[in-house]
Every structure is written in C-alpha cells, then in structure tokens.
C-alpha cells in the first residue's frame, strides 16, 4: 500500500477518535466491558475499527493482484519510457467561425439566437471547419505508402486505407485475435452505400450491404478479406434484407466447438424489431451462416457487444428498455444463445455503445449517452463481478479541450483492444459518425490505460474497492509503443 493511502487510514483513525472524544467531553465517562471483564479504552475501540478496515483494504488489493496472472509483462507506469509519450496529451483550440449572415437588431431583440456550438459545426455538413473533423482524401492514412516517421502512426479522424488503397469499411465493429493464425480480425458494418432517410423523421441510414472483415498482424496494416456476412437482396421477410438494419457486429471463437460466432444488432427500418442476430462460421474470414434472431431474455435489444472471459464463458451486453438500461447475461456453451440468467445494470442511466474489457480481475466498461448520431460524453464503469453491481467512475477522456472531452473526441465507443505484454494498456476504438454521409464515418483509435485513483470512488465504503482510473488520451498523431508485438 502506498504511503499516501496508509496516511489516509491513520488520519481516519485519528479523526474518528477525536470526534468521539469531543462528543463525550461533557458526558459521564463510560467504559466498555470486553472478555473476562476487562476494560477497553475508547482509542482501542477506534483503532480496532481501523484495523478491521485495513484488513478489508488489503484483501481488496490482494484480489486485484491475484487477477494479474503470472505472466511476465511490462508493468504500467507513468514513468515507463514505452508509455510516457502516450500520456503526454495534446490540446485543441478550434475557433467557431463567424455567422454567415447578420440579423437586424430588431429581429435579434425579438428572438435572441442561440449561440452556435462546436457540436453544431460538427453536425453541419456545410460548416467552414468541417474539414477539421473530416479531413479530405489528401491526408488519408495509407500503410502501403507510409515510411519513416509516419509508419504505424494513427491519425484519429483521418480516412484510413486498406492494403488495396480503399477506405476501410468496418464501422461499429470489434476485433478478434485468432491464436491459431496469430492474426487480428476487424469486423464491422460495411457502409459503402448512399445515405438516405426512410421518411422525414427517420434517422440517417445506409442499406445493409453486410459485415466487412479485415486482417492484420500489426493492428495498422489491414487487408480486406471480403464481406463475410452479406445482405439478403430479394427476400423482404429476411432479417438481413437490405432495407433493414445491421449494426455493431462482434465475433468470438468457441474453443469447445471450433466455431467462430458472430452476434449483431438487427432491426427494421423504424427500429421497432430491436433484436439480436446470430451467425456462425468455420473460419474467421467466413462466410458466416446466418442462423436466427431473437429478443434476448424477452427484452428489446439495440446497441450490443460480446465479452469472452478468461474461463471461456462469453457474455452478451445490450441496451434495453428503450435504451434506459443495460442488460448482461452469459451465453450457453456453444455461444449460440443466451441462458436464462440476466442482470439489469446502469438502470435509468440511458447508456449505449458498451465496450467491455478486463484488467487485473476487475471488469471495466466504456459507454456513451443516447443522442443519435450526435456525439456525447463517455463514461467509464467498473465492477468486481461482470454481473454487477457496476459503479460509474466518470468521464475517462483526457486532453483536447472541454468540448472534445464532453463529446468523446467527437466519437462513440465501440470496442477496447488489450495490448499483449503491456499490462494496463489498451486501444480504445470509437466511430466518428458522419450522418450526412455514413460511408465517410471515421475511426478514432486512441491509447487507453488503467491506473491511478478513480474520479468518483464510492461514497459509502471509505474508498474501496479501489477502482483504478480509466484514461483515454487525445492525440492528433500517435503510435503503439515499440516492442509490444514481441510481447504477444
């Protein structure tokens, strides 16, 4: 335990003892009888309580350490040369352009105009500063052309090309590391079609084309493996008919069956179906056979993700009850259905876009608010058990500026990728949605670390369990620490 935390407990004991002394200053002295008629002083009682709390504290710490495993890993440290650069965040100073036309003083007095915000500029496809959020093709990341200092550098928000020179189409996606092929596979929504509105009040959408799959050994150079689950062109009754909705596909591998299993959010044009779809394949590159759809546990399901724990048990996490809460429950042994077990979490908090990961025995999750295509504030959550209870810890975003932090860097969470060999270090994957042209939505990948005190510790438990802060660092340009590949 650090000296700071030890001093905290000593101060707590002193304060408790002093408080009880002041309370009893004008009362008749009272003694406490213990075993065999012995007498216990007030200070003994206080320090016994502190000792008990310290025992629970040490127990909590030991649980965190036990979860770390016995692997030889690079330990997270604010002074470690591999990570120091990632924690040096950058600031942004974007000026809102002046209004295009001036109103008369009389009109302004009658109805004062709400000042334009940076979010308004982000959503306005004719904004003078839109290029700052959606840089053009000239700045595209091309791993096949980059060399020298630009090799392996991520540029959040720029167009990202695959090995064929085409923009990557893997929106709302997730990554599977396949131990058999020692490859990373990135699955996501293939949105390379025109954006339209089904009716006047409908959200922007693209017809289903399918799920795109990309492979990589370095998480930077991606080869297009094809559309591994395609839309249905003719059967209008099919879940994957092109007029419907397919979102947030995630794939996990089942060691027991040797199958790759994909779950996704499937819906109709008006988002009233609110179900999950399940598909399966013998290969990570497909093709995946679509099996069926259902409302898990009998509840509506929209934004969702999968999480496979170290013991091989997989879980489905989905937004439900009109996105007012999240539900979580284990899948069965073949990962093709849910079990009857389910827990409600973050009830009444209206969170979506869950991205779950684990560090040293503690489960963490990033979620977004529910504001359609408009960006909003991310929150980090933590739990000792994946089934809850889950505690909300605060906004994990660091750097940029206030608006960047309150909009998750103008993006929405989709997945968190652990970096092998560097404990406490991850890649945060998010989508910067472009509702004017969804095929041109961008990817915001940033370093995420776990370490340090949480922003909002529990108020009723003297500061433990000791959740570690989740931090997502803003960078205009960054690369993974040298040597991480050798740690796999």
Residue-wise pLDDT for 68-81, tens only, equals 333 333 344 444 56
Which has the closest alpha carbon to 288: 264, 265, 304, 305? 264
> Does residue 8 or residue 217 have the better pLDDT?
217
**Rounded to an integer, what distance in angstroms lies between the CA atom of residue 262 and that of residue 28?**
71
327: CATH: 2.115.10.20
The model's pLDDT over 402-415, given as tens digits with 9 standing for 90+, comes to 999 999 999 999 99
The pair of three-digit structure tokens given for residue 439, joined into one six-digit string:
């095929």
Question: What residues are paired with 265 via a beta bridge?
Answer: 247, 276
Q: Is the previous residue joined to 465 through a cis bond, with omega within 30 degrees of 0?
A: yes
Is the pLDDT confidence value at 462 over 90?
no
Number of domains in the chain: 1
Residue 42 included in any domain? no
Q: Token digits for 180?
A: 């058999």
- Is 45 contained in some domain? no
Pairwise CA distance, residues 183 & 381, whole Å: 29
pLDDT in tens, 40-92: 566 666 567 656 655 655 554 444 444 333 333 334 444 456 667 777 788 88
Q: With respect to residue 275, please indicate whether it lies within any of the assigned structural domains.
A: yes
Q: Which domain holds residue 394?
A: 81-91+124-487
Confidence of residue 451 (pLDDT cuts 50, 70, 90): confident
With H, G, I as helix, E, B as strand and everything else as coil, classify residue 430: strand
pLDDT 10s digits, 380-392: 999 999 999 999 9
Q: Among 64, 21, 76, 22, which Cα is nearest to 43's?
A: 21
Please report whether residue 4 resides in a domain.
no
CB 386 within 8 A of CB 364: no
Query: Out of 82-96, 190-204, 355-369, which region has the weakest mean confidence (pLDDT)?
Result: 82-96
Residue 424's pLDDT is what? 83
pLDDT for res 487: 47
Cα 392 to Cα 467: distance, rounded to the nearest angstrom: 10
* Rounded Cα gap, residues 152 and 387, in angstroms: 37
Residue 479 burial (CB count, 10 A): 16
Is the per-residue pLDDT at 315 higher than 70? yes
Q: pLDDT grade, residue 146 (50/70/90)?
A: confident
DSSP 383: E
DSSP state letters, 414-447: EEEEE-TTBTTEEEEEEEE--TTSGGG-EEEEEE
User: For residue 439, is it left (φ>0), alpha (ψ between -120 and 50) or beta?
Assistant: alpha
**DSSP type of residue 109:** H
| Tens-digit pLDDT profile for residues 240-291 | 999 999 999 999 999 999 999 999 999 999 999 999 999 999 999 999 999 9
CA proximity to 14, closest of 41, 48, 47, 40: 47
Q: Is 43 exposed, middle or buried (CB count within 10 Å of its CB: 0-12, 13-18, 19+)?
A: middle
| In-domain check, residue 6 | no
* Cβ–Cβ < 8 Å for 219, 238: no
Q: What one-character DSSP code corresponds to residue 466? A: -
User: Is residue 420, in this structure, part of any structural domain at all?
Assistant: yes
Tokens 């003083």 locate to 105
- Residue 27 scores a pLDDT above 60: no
Q: Is 304 contained in some domain? A: yes
Q: How far apart are CA 441 and CA 231, in angstroms?
A: 20
Q: Could you tell me the pLDDT band of residue 416, with boundaries at 50, 70 and 90?
A: very high
Measured CA to CA, the distance from residue 27 to residue 198 in angstroms comes to 76
What DSSP string describes 166-208?
A: PBP--EEEEEEEETTTTEEEEEEE---S--EESSTTSPEE---
Nearest to 302 by CA among 349, 348, 339, 247: 247
Q: What is the pLDDT of residue 333?
A: 98
**pLDDT at site 82:** 60
Task: Answer whether residue 69 is part of any domain.
Answer: no
């Amino acid at each position: 335990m650090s000296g700071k935390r030890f001093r905290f407990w000593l101060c707590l004991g002193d304060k408790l003892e002093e408080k009880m002394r002041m309370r009893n200053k004008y009362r008749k002295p009272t003694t406490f009888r213990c075993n065999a008629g012995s007498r216990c002083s007030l200070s003994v009682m206080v320090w016994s309580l502190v000792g008990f709390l310290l025992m629970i504290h040490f127990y909590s710490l030991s649980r965190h350490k036990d979860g770390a495993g016995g692997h030889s890993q690079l330990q997270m440290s604010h002074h470690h040369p591999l990570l120091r650069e990632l924690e040096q965040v950058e600031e942004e100073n974007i000026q809102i352009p002046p209004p295009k036309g001036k109103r008369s003083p009389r009109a302004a007095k009658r109805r004062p105009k709400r000042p334009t915000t940076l979010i308004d500029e982000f959503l306005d496809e004719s904004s003078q500063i839109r290029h700052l959020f959606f840089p053009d093709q000239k700045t595209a990341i091309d791993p096949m052309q980059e060399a020298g200092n630009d090799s392996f550098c991520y540029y959040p928000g720029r167009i990202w090309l695959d090995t064929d020179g085409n923009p990557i189409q893997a929106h709302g996606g997730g990554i599977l590391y396949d131990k058999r092929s020692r490859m990373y596979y990135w699955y996501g929504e293939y949105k390379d079609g025109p954006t339209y509105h089904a009716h006047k009040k409908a959200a922007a959408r693209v017809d289903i084309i399918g799920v795109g799959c990309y492979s990589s050994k370095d998480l930077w150079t991606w080869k297009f493996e094809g559309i591994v689950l395609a839309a249905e062109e003719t059967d209008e009754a099919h879940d994957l008919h092109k007029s419907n909705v397919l979102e947030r596909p995630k794939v996990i591998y089942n060691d027991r069956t040797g199958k790759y299993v994909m779950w996704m959010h499937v819906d109709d044009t008006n988002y009233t179906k609110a179900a999950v779809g399940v598909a399966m394949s013998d290969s990570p590159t497909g093709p995946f056979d679509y099996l069926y759809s259902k409302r898990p546990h009998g509840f509506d399901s929209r934004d969702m993700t999968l999480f496979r724990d170290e013991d091989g048990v997989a879980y489905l996490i989905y937004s439900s009850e009109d996105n007012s809460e999240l539900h979580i429950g284990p899948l069965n042994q073949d990962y093709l259905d849910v079990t009857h077990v389910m827990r409600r979490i973050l009830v009444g908090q209206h969170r979506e876009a869950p991205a779950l990961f684990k560090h040293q025995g503690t489960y963490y999750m990033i979620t977004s608010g529910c504001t359609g295509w408009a960006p909003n504030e991310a929150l980090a959550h933590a739990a000792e058990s994946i089934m809850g209870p889950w505690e909300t810890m605060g906004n994990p975003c660091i750097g940029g500026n206030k608006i960047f932090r309150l909009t998750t860097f103008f993006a929405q969470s989709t997945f968190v990728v652990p970096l092998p060999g560097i404990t406490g270090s991850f890649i945060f994957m998010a989508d910067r949605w472009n509702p004017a042209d969804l095929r041109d939505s961008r990817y915001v990948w940033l370093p995420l670390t776990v370490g340090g005190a949480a922003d909002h510790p529990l108020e009723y438990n003297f500061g433990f369990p000791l959740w570690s802060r989740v931090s997502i660092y803003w960078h205009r340009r960054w690369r993974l620490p040298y040597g991480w590949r050798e740690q796999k």
